[in-house]
């Protein structure tokens, strides 16, 4: 099959490590794909094979699945092959070459590709003079651990390309081996300089944009563009939510230390009159549940993982949402969705959160990890429903103006005028 684009429509290659819902990165990918299609363009995905993928006629071009959880169960030689493939993928290059031979691509939109598809595909695209934009969803090019966290603390030791710090401090999963692989990956990609093939790096928040600039990462190619969002699901959630007299607050996210759920549970100890619902799972789930039982937190309920619509309905029934992250959040869609539902947000003053949670206007900010401060903010907002009601209105107005599809598309058009 060979698809030609005409003068008004474009064939857009959208690249992401997965082609099924995985979190915030997929929320963006799915949304931007819908935007392109609604504008009449043809989207060609390039990803990794997985039984959970959404069906596409281009799946034969996808690379074989890499499951790092199974690496330890294989032989050492098999593990080495997987590790090498995660740094430099010949398969991704070969499969992309096949795809480009069959489909004329007008421009490529890169998303999350490290560790799986790898930046090695950039030279294939550049060889054919295909314009490339890359939406940055994390910090991998400047931080081997992707999130600027080492052993639960913010860490920027790798500034200036000093990636060996990841090894000496075992930043990746607390493992010397995993950290060595992560640092090696960064050194290889920096040496090969494939990032130079990208025309524009898109940063979804001002914070991320400034952080990449601070690390001198292709400053002339960095642009700041907020994500878009399709609010149709929000309206659906409002209609489906069953009115419940129960008053509660809600946390939605991965149950990992960097997301601050442990700080929130500690804060709940002094708030026996406040009910908290927690949506999500993760490596800290058992530890957090044990903490709840040990401290008899009968006001805390773990709901586990929920579907997107179920999650939105729970948020819609809440008084407000808590976002206690302790890492450099790029742009949390959970906060976007809560504010779009008219919920104030109590958020940690870190990363891109303060760009959405305007203190005393759309919600309240607190110092990351500060249990006492978080507890006080929750109690104060609960006791001031009139203020919360005003914040609710402000939150909806602010987020709809900041995060919307039309503005996002127009911004992308400044990078690719043919759109």
Question: Is residue 1 situated within a structural domain?
Answer: no
CATH number of the domain within which 59 lies: 3.40.50.2000
Average pLDDT over residues 293-308: 95
Question: Is residue 108 situated within a structural domain?
Answer: yes
Average pLDDT over residues 285-295: 96
Q: How much of the chain exceeds pLDDT 70, in percent?
A: 94
Q: What is the pLDDT of residue 23?
A: 86
Residues 105 and 217 in one domain: yes
Q: What is the pLDDT of residue 369?
A: 96
Question: Is residue 244 situated within a structural domain?
Answer: yes
Residues 107 and 59 in one domain: yes
Residues 389 and 410 in one domain: no
Average pLDDT over residues 125-146: 96
Q: What is the pLDDT of residue 1?
A: 40
Summarize pLDDT for 108-124 with one digit per residue, the tens.
Answer: 999 999 989 999 999 99
Phi, psi (5° rounding) for residue 163? -70, -15
Question: Is residue 5 situated within a structural domain?
Answer: no
Question: Is residue 6 situated within a structural domain?
Answer: no
Q: Kindly state the tokens that stand for 159.
A: 């500034």
Which residues lie closer than 8 Å to 410 by C-beta, 6 or more apart? none
Summarize pLDDT for 307-338 with one digit per residue, the tens.
Answer: 999 999 999 999 999 999 999 999 999 999 99
Residues 27 and 123 in one domain: yes
Answer yes or no: pTM beyond 0.85: yes
The helix/strand/coil state of 416 is coil
Adjacency order of strands within the sheet including 132-135: 42-46, 11-15, 107-110, 132-135, 200-203, 222-224
Residues 30 and 49 in one domain: yes
Largest CA distance in the chain: 65
Q: Kindly state the tokens that stand for 258.
A: 């960097």
Average pLDDT over residues 22-37: 94
Residues 344 and 214 in one domain: no
Structural domain harbouring 221: 11-68+75-145+188-228+404-415
39-48, 153-162, 244-253, 354-363: segment of lowest average pLDDT: 244-253
Residues 265 and 277 in one domain: yes
Average pLDDT over residues 271-298: 96
Question: Is residue 159 situated within a structural domain?
Answer: no
CB 411 within 8 A of CB 224: no
Summarize pLDDT for 42-62 with one digit per residue, the tens.
Answer: 999 999 999 999 999 999 999
Question: Long-range contacts for 178-184 (Cβ within 8 Å, ≥24 apart)?
Answer: 179/144, 179/145, 181/83, 181/86, 181/87, 182/144, 182/145, 183/144, 184/87
Q: How much of the chain exceeds pLDDT 90, in percent?
A: 84
Residues 204 and 56 in one domain: yes
Q: What is the pLDDT of residue 6?
A: 47
Residue whose C-alpha is closest to residue 313's, from 212, 401, 201, 235: 235
Question: Is residue 150 situated within a structural domain?
Answer: no
Residues 246 and 218 in one domain: no
CA pair distance 79, 381, nearest whole angstrom: 51
pLDDT value at 371 more than 80: yes
User: Average pLDDT over the chain, rounded to whole?
Assistant: 92
Q: Residue length, the chain?
A: 419
Residues 210 and 304 in one domain: no
Residues 237 and 102 in one domain: no
CA pair distance 162, 141, nearest whole angstrom: 12
Counted domains in the chain: 2
Residues 287 and 344 in one domain: yes
Question: Is residue 169 situated within a structural domain?
Answer: no
Q: What is the pLDDT of residue 85?
A: 75
Summarize pLDDT for 234-247 with one digit per residue, the tens.
Answer: 998 888 877 777 89
Q: What is the pLDDT of residue 163?
A: 96
């Amino acid at each position: 099959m060979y698809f030609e684009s005409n003068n008004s429509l474009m064939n857009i290659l959208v690249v992401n490590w997965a082609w099924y819902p995985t979190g915030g990165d997929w929320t963006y990918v799915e949304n931007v794909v819908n935007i392109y299609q609604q504008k009449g363009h043809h989207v060609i995905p390039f990803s990794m094979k997985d039984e959970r993928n959404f069906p596409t006629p281009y799946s034969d071009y996808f690379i074989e699945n890499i499951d790092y959880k199974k690496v330890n169960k294989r032989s050492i030689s098999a593990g080495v092959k997987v590790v090498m493939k995660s740094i430099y993928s010949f398969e991704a290059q070969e499969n992309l070459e096949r795809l480009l031979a069959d489909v004329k691509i007008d421009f490529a939109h890169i998303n999350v590709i490290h560790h799986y598809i790898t930046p090695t595909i950039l030279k294939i695209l550049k060889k054919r003079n295909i314009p490339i934009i890359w939406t940055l969803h994390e910090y991998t090019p400047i931080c081997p651990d992707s999130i600027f966290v080492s052993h639960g603390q913010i860490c920027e030791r790798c500034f200036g390309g000093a990636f060996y710090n990841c090894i000496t401090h075992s930043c990746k999963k607390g493992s010397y081996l995993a950290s060595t692989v992560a640092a090696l990956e960064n050194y290889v990609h920096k040496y090969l300089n494939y990032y130079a093939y990208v025309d524009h790096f898109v940063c979804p928040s001002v914070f991320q944009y400034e952080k990449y600039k601070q690390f001198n990462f292709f400053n002339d190619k960095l642009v700041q563009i907020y994500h878009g969002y399709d609010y149709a699901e929000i309206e659906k959630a409002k209609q489906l939510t069953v009115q419940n007299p129960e008053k509660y607050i809600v946390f939605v996210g991965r149950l990992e230390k960097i997301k601050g759920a442990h700080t929130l549970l500690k804060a709940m100890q002094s708030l026996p009159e406040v009910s908290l619902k927690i949506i999500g799972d993760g490596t800290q789930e058992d530890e957090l549940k044990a903490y709840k039982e040990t401290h008899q937190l009968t006001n805390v309920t773990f709901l586990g993982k929920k579907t997107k619509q179920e999650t939105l309905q729970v948020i819609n029934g809440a008084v407000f949402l808590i976002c206690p992250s302790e890492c450099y959040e790029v742009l949390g869609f959970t906060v976007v969705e809560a504010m779009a539902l008219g919920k104030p947000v109590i958020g940690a003053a870190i990363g891109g959160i303060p760009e959405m949670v305007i203190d005393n206007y759309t919600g309240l900010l607190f110092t990351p990890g500060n249990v006492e401060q978080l507890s006080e903010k929750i109690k104060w907002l609960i006791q001031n429903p009139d203020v919360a009601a005003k914040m609710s209105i402000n939150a909806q107005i602010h987020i709809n103006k900041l995060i919307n599809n039309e503005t996002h598309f127009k911004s992308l058009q400044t990078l690719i005028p043919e759109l």
